[in-house]
Structure 1
Amino acid sequence: MKCRISLALFFAFTVAATASVDSCLAVLRPNLTIGEKDLLDVSERWSNMRRIEDAERETFLRNAGYADSTGSIPSKIRVDEIAGCNIGRESDTLEIRLFRVLGIEGTKDENVYVVTTSRQNIIARSLIASLQATCESTFLRACTMEDDGSIRVGQLRHDFDCEKDEFLRTEPLPGLTIRVRDDGSISETVEGE
């Protein structure tokens, strides 16, 4: 009997936690369909972004791999919070947040991450949208949220001949399915694996 009660309580808490993550993602859903147009004019799509600065900026950029070989982070890299929501739990609060990073590489370097945090510590992050352009190529990663709460990511690369100023080819790249788990971890599954 005790085993059944324990199992029932475990199941109830698991369902409650899942509903919380699902409801948080539902709040973020309007911001989780991101295409090339959105990345070309980020300030038009998200006019109420909050600038991330100081220690929080540095912590995130280090975690996301933006530090150079000397450990420095270029001051021109900008981080903004697009949106976020909190999930109250017994011991602490889990946050699911969307961060935009305006990088400094090439002619265009826009990136959007889904980030989970707890007590101001980063639990996990995943790059869900990106537009990185140089003379030789353009890399595009776009996403949409599926009905099951997963984030579907498609990606491709356009190649160009800079000297002739002409388009060469489009290279489709494997897509990803991204899931935010109840504990704040994020799983990424590559299509076809």
Structure 2
Amino acid sequence: MRADTMRVALATHNAHKVDELRRILAPQLPGVDVLAYDGPEPVEDGTTFAENALIKARAAAAHTGLPAIADDSGICVDILGGSPGIFSARWSGPARDSGENLRLLLWQLADVPLEHRAAHFTCVAALALPDGTERFVTGEWPGRILTEAAGAGGFGYDPIFLPDGYAISAAELTASVKNRDSHRARAFDGLVPVLRELLG
């Protein structure tokens, strides 16, 4: 299959991720036809970002019969031993309330000075083909956790994440900067050569 006619299922029901990943992939894979996944959500019972990303990619490939890409991502705080990690989306409970997740993390770090609030976003981008071929790539975005939320852009923990090299939160960065520098951008940048190799 040629890159300019590539059809790939994107294994997420998150509209923010669909938009972001399309913006990331479009310049590198012109003409790629990214299809939003409309199937059932698999049980993400892996113990790592890679395991969960592959679970989602496999489910989408099986449901659609197309090559499928998926990601699993979260924020990892050094002083919390890497937590929330794979539990980032449900850190405050099963409701997956991003606002509550953010507020809980700020509360847990309330007495921790900025110099000890090192953290990084991690993203694993996975590819699964209907024939069982699988690959994954990891991207990380280092920074620190702010003492209070700033900015209305982005989603999830973006308002309290200060990326290394910036004086503003991830939620205050433009989409073009995030699409270049974020953990998700780094992971999918790494996955693009794999897509070209396996589907080109």
Pair in the same fold by TM > 0.5: no
Higher relative helix content: 2
Scaled to the shorter chain, the TM-score interval is 0.3 to 0.5
Normalised to the residue count of structure 1, the TM-score between the two structures is 0.33
Higher relative strand content: 1
Normalised to the residue count of structure 2, the TM-score between the two structures is 0.32
